[in-house]
Amino acid sequence: MSADVFIENTAAMATISVQIPGGEYITRVLREGQTVSVGSDGTAELRLESEGVGGLHCLLSVIEGVVNVRDCYSQTGTFVNEARVQDVDVNYDCEVRVGQNVIELKLRDSQPAPNVYSDPIVEPEASGSANDQEESSSSEAEESANEQGIDSIQLNDIVGLTSHLPVVDHSAKVASLTIELEEAQAELEVLRERLDSRQLQNQTAASDPFQQEMIELLREEVLSLQEELRTNSATHHPEAAFVDHVDDEDLPTREEVEKLVDRLEVLLSELHQKDENIRVLQDLVLAADNANQAEKDEREQLARWLGEFEERFELLSEEWQAENEQLKKKMKHLQEERTETQAALSANSTSAKTEALQRLTENLRMQITAAQEEMDSAQQEIADLKVKVKEAHGTVSREEEIRLSRERAEIARMRHDLEVKMQKAHQDSDPGDREGEVLDEAELRLREFRDHVRETGSSRNSSPSLSSRLLNLWGRLG
């Protein structure tokens, strides 16, 4: 993308023709003393939206038939015939490069272009008006640069201005002034290097209010130095200016430079302290995260334990319910047998009693056979349990011990029932004795059932409840 600008100097006005990227031309007429701002910002009069063009890049001014080109501290710089400039008066045809755009500058009364670029010499009689125009342009450039938020100061441009000034060795004063200029240049270079290194180390320091204050102080100092140098070079002949009109006030004093350096060191120390504070805060946040994670893991472990307790409680409840149902069935069966036996004994005929006794004997035999089978299976289970107990080495839980004790009690009762039934089956006695024995047997079985229920209830009541165990666990954790 390129833009061709033609500025024709006339006695009273200049004409500017601009070619925008789409190919359209825009023509404007500038009268004597007017200024055109070049940049990519919307406030620029000559807007060039391309890479390398700053918001307010440079200013083109027509002053007494001479075009003044001033760079507004742009990052890429302004070039006249491939030479970087800061503030120069042009009275010859040349090319002004702004970013990637080339502006062709043509004057009606053009002078031959110099081989090496240097600031043109202004005649003394025209120095007054030129000085006024340049001061107004300088103030406009400073205000525009402040509005655009310049992040850094091109100290190299200021140093370049001081190096382009011609110096004639007429006296010892000129030599001393030259030495002071070189010292000021070296000090400014040190300040620039410190600013660049600090920006590379910490880009977040731009939000620091002290950083902005320091930039403003440096900007004011550099602008003051530039204004003094430009005024002296435009108002008087350079030789006379260096001999008669240059004093110590044109350069920054050593005290001011040392003050700026001290200010930079203070800002660097404050930045280091802030970095330490941030590191401490990060450590505190990490410790808090670790504590929260540990608490979360502990809560998850407690939740798992409570889940296991609930599962065990439900399992025990189901076992207790099944055992209760089984006992109820046994009780109902015993009551039915007792009722049937009493009905048979209350009959008047001997045959009915005999049939009842035969049915009872048959039932007893069947029960003896079932009890024998249960006893065999129970003995097998006891043998298996003994093997498991030996393998476990005392790791059997309290619930398993209770279950084993219940099985032993059940086996003992079954063995007792079997012995009683066998004795009654082989005993030969009269019906009256048999009737008493049947009643005694029913009473004995009911009594054994009550004892079993009482034993089961006492063993259940003696064990601690789930709520009490949870409270004890919570107290230990607290």
Three state DSSP letters for 292-325: HHHHHHHHHHHHHHHHHHHHHHHHHHHHHHHHHH
Rounded Cα–Cα distance for residues 174 and 278 (Å): 53
Q: What was the pLDDT predicted at 85?
A: 92
Residue ranges of the domains in the chain?
1-147, 151-252, 313-477
Rounded Cα–Cα distance for residues 102 and 95 (Å): 7
Q: What was the pLDDT predicted at 68?
A: 87
Helix, strand or coil for residue 21? Answer: coil
Walk across the sheet containing 58-63 and list its strands: 46-47, 35-39, 58-63, 66-71, 87-90
> Which amino acid type is present at position 46?
L
Could you give the count of Cα atoms lying within 13 Å of 265 in the half-sphere of its Cβ?
Answer: 7
Q: What was the pLDDT predicted at 147?
A: 43
Q: What b/e readout covers 12-26, taking b as 16+ CB neighbours within 10 angstroms?
A: eebebebbeeeeeee
Q: What was the pLDDT predicted at 156?
A: 43
Q: What was the pLDDT predicted at 356?
A: 73
Could you give the count of Cα atoms lying within 13 Å of 91 in the half-sphere of its Cβ?
Answer: 12
Rounded Cα–Cα distance for residues 133 and 127 (Å): 10
Rounded to the nearest 10°, the torsion over CA 282, 285, 289, 292 is: 170
Is the Cβ–Cβ distance between 60 and 98 less than 8 Å? no
Tokens of 311: 């599962």
> Which amino acid type is present at position 19?
Q
Per the listing, tokens 């608490």 go with 295
Is the Cβ–Cβ distance between 162 and 187 less than 8 Å? no
C-alpha 291 chain-centroid distance: 18
Q: Tell me how far apart the terminal alpha carbons of the chain are, to the nearest angstrom.
A: 76
Q: How many CB atoms sit inside 10 A of residue 264's CB? A: 18
Selecting from 2.60.120.10, 3.90.1580.10, 2.60.200.20, 2.60.40.10, what CATH number does the domain 1-147 have?
Answer: 2.60.200.20
Q: What was the pLDDT predicted at 62?
A: 81
Walk across the sheet containing 101-105 and list its strands: 83-85, 78-80, 94-98, 101-105
What's the pTM?
Answer: 0.27
Query: For each of the chain's 478 residues, which pLDDT tens digit applies?
Result: 455 444 444 444 566 666 666 666 666 666 677 788 888 888 888 888 878 888 888 888 888 878 888 998 888 899 988 899 999 988 777 888 888 777 877 776 666 777 644 444 333 333 444 444 444 444 444 444 444 443 333 444 443 444 444 444 456 667 667 777 777 777 777 777 777 766 665 555 445 556 667 777 777 778 878 777 777 766 654 444 444 444 445 566 778 888 888 888 899 989 999 999 999 999 999 999 999 999 999 889 888 888 888 888 888 888 888 888 888 888 888 888 778 777 767 766 677 777 777 877 887 788 788 888 888 888 888 888 888 777 765 554 666 777 777 887 787 777 777 777 777 766 654 445 554 554 566 566 666 666 655 655 554 444 555 556 666 656 555 5
Q: What was the pLDDT predicted at 159?
A: 39
